[in-house]
Structure formats: C-alpha cells, structure tokens
Amino acid sequence: MVVPQTAVRQGAAVSGLLLVLFLGIHLVGLIPSLTAPSRFEAYASALHHSAWLPLLEIGLVVTFVTHLGLTAVKTLSNRQSGNTAQLSSRRGDDIGAMAAKGKVLAGLISLGFLILHLKQLRWSRPGDGLERELMVQLLQNPLTLALYIAGALSLGMHLLHGHEAAHRSIGALTPTNGPWIRRNGRWLAVLLGGGFALISLGLAFGGAA
C-alpha cells in the first residue's frame, strides 16, 4: 500500500516533535549532574527502577524508528521529484538554508552519537549511584568528548531545519506566525544543542568536583 505523501510528512513531523519533547525533558534531568550530583544520582536510580521505564523506552524506539523511516521516505520522494532546491529556498536566510542543505548529514551524525550513547549508558547500564561517575570517566576521554559535542551541535543544526519544517508539514505554519516559529525554533536549537554540549563539557572538565 502506498502511503500518501501528506501522511508521510505529517507522521515525520509529529514523531519529530515528540522526540524534541523527550530531549527537552532529558536535558532538564541532566542539569543536576552539574549542580546537585547527589540529587542526580537519586533521580537516575529512581528512573532506572521505575516499572514504566520499559514502556517509555519502547515508545521512544517506535517514535524514533517512525521518524527515521518517514523522513527517509520523504527525502527520497523529494529528490525523485526534483524539488530539493525548493525545500532549501523556502527559508529566506542563510542559516536556515545551510541547515536545510545539511539536514541529512546532521541526522546521520546524531544517529551515530545516539548509538554510541546507548552503548555506553543503556546497553551496559551503570549501577545505582554510579551514573555520573561513569559519565565523567567517559567524557574525560578527548575522543568521546569530541563525539558528544559533535552530536549536540548536529542536533542543534537538525532542529534549525526540523522545527519549521515540522510546523509546515502539520499545517501550523502561516505567513503571519512564520517568523515567530522560525525564531523560536532557533532558540530551541540553541537551548538543546548548546545545553547538551555545555553539560558534556562541564562533566568532562569539572566532573570530579
């Protein structure tokens, strides 16, 4: 069965926005790792022992795979129809155009970082009270730190394109609210991308404190 392109775009947009919501919550949960280590460890331990965590993780996997698959279908369809230039030019600014042109690369870097992150902290989950210690040990490795920073910056670049594109796909973007959505999307990209990068740097250089 052929899925209508409108449904593909809307599905990719909704799944992407749900992932952004999760990233925002995840970032908030990481802040105490710098400001209140004991509270962070208590939070991490409680989270790991929560009965609903497996359901959340399954939901995240389904959402992520859906977003990845529908985005790939949408990208291939756009290229086959020859409208990639149009997608880039819809933004009347250099930053937006650059983010649109580099969205595939940013997505691939983010995917690579996610696999590394899961391998280090989920597939071999640390014991209670050891989450922050392991994060510090990992991030004090220059190569790992560089990969985490690259992942955070790629996430920010991906959001520069994805936030506006998602609102366009679900029909929420209008000439009136377009500048507001674009501006908020940039702040969101800076907040999430910069936030994860700063936390990584803080743990790497001040984690032992």
Locate the domains of the chain by residue range: 5-206
Distance set, CA 193 to CA 39, 82, 198 (Å)? 24, 31, 9
Classify 172 as helix, strand or coil.
coil
Confidence category of residue 87, pLDDT binned at 50, 70, 90: very low
**155, pLDDT greater than 60:** yes
pTM to 2 decimals? Answer: 0.83
Average pLDDT over residues 46-56: 93
Nearest to 164 by CA among 85, 64, 97, 77: 97
Q: What is the CATH number of domain 5-206?
A: 1.20.1300
Contact 182, 164 (CB under 8 A): yes
pLDDT score recorded for residue 89: 40
pLDDT score recorded for residue 99: 66
Distance set, CA 63 to CA 34, 35, 67 (Å)? 29, 31, 6
Confidence category of residue 96, pLDDT binned at 50, 70, 90: low
